[in-house]
Amino acid sequence: MTTAAAERLRFPGIHPTAFEHPLDRSALEALRKTPGLDKLFKKLASLHFERQVRLHFTADSLRLSPRQCPDIYRLLREAAAVLDMPEPELYLMQTPQPNAFAIGMDRFTIVLTSGLVDLMTEEELRTVIGHELGHIKSGHMLYRTIAIFLTLAGLVAARNLPFVNMLSQALLYAFYDWFRKSELTADRAGLLVAQDPQVAVRVLLKLAGGAQRTVGQLNLEEFLKQADDYEDMDESLLNILYKFEMTRFQTHPFPALRAREIHRWGQAEEYRDILRGNYARVETAAADRRCPRCAAIVENPLFKFCPECGGTL
């Protein structure tokens, strides 16, 4: 059943570890131990990549507000209130491909595409916004912005850039492995905003192959079975090699796998505990933890690097 806005639960003081996926945590720790990360931080900062991206969206997309597409902006406000966090900037980009992403290291921005807005219901769009807020809330943004830069540049073009020669294959693999697993944490944040596992699964189903003509014919159970079918193919060593080639530079897990993962979490006691108000909260000591380089507050006690500037904590 869809949760009305007035009845939507909020989670004051919720700590990102309350919904952090264990695979996200382990992959991030592996990424931080990979040589070459500090050089990549410095090079990206020198390119002013974030500033270029913000200029692009300011000039070429709609910045949403209470006076510009207020219905969509309201969903951002509601989702941010559920997760107890500040509202980032929100942009609407004209492109038919359904997509959404969060960017930024100093100032955070969420971008939605027109194709996504056309495809999703209001509840589904709220879930997507909650997903992107989950990345921001969880301190993913520094590493994700770097990974997005590598993706936008393209691997072929990136390999021709001098600074990429500094990067080992291990660093690239670690980046993309963590990027994929961070999506599982953000999916949980999206579910906390939606508060309806079927809505969260339906979002992924539509991203996999939804269209306006097929909305009334989509079957969630059949979609979830696809994840089992995919894993059954691991019996062949050749299929395992194919999967590695398919995914090693992929930023997102396959939608069916994500759908099954969030469906399972939606049935788990951990999720129900959060709905009942039993979850990890931001303690005063954690809230006062600041980066010595940029003075940003770093709420996640597991972080060894500042998610804002990359400085050692």
Strand ordering across the sheet containing 89-93: 62-63, 89-93, 109-113, 100-103
**Is residue 132 annotated as a catalytic residue, yes or no?**
yes
Find out whether 289 and 306 touch, Cβ atoms under 8 Å.
no
Nearest-angstrom CA–CA distance, 116 and 114: 5
Q: How many CB atoms lie within 10 A of CB 19?
A: 28
pLDDT tens-digit readout, 10-49: 999 999 999 999 999 888 877 777 666 656 666 666 666 6
Q: How confident is the model at residue 103 (pLDDT cuts 50, 70, 90)?
A: confident
| Cα distances (angstroms) measured from residue 190 to each of 123, 125, 219, 299 | 11, 10, 21, 20
The lowest-confidence range among 94-98, 139-143, 155-159 is 155-159
Domain boundaries, the chain: 9-287
Of 93, 101, 206, 204, the C-alpha closest to 151 is 101
Token pair listed for 170: 């291990």
Find out whether 105 and 51 touch, Cβ atoms under 8 Å.
no
Exactly one of 123, 132, 183, 299 is catalytic; name it: 132
Backbone region of residue 110 per phi and psi (left: phi > 0; alpha: psi in -120 to 50; beta: other values): beta
pLDDT tens-digit readout, 201-243: 999 999 998 777 887 888 889 988 988 887 766 666 766 677 6
For the four alpha carbons of 126, 132, 133 and 138, in that order, the dihedral sign comes to positive
Query: Which one-letter amino acid corresponds to residue 196?
Result: D
Nearest-angstrom CA–CA distance, 239 and 261: 22
pLDDT tens-digit readout, 169-193: 666 777 888 889 999 999 999 999 9
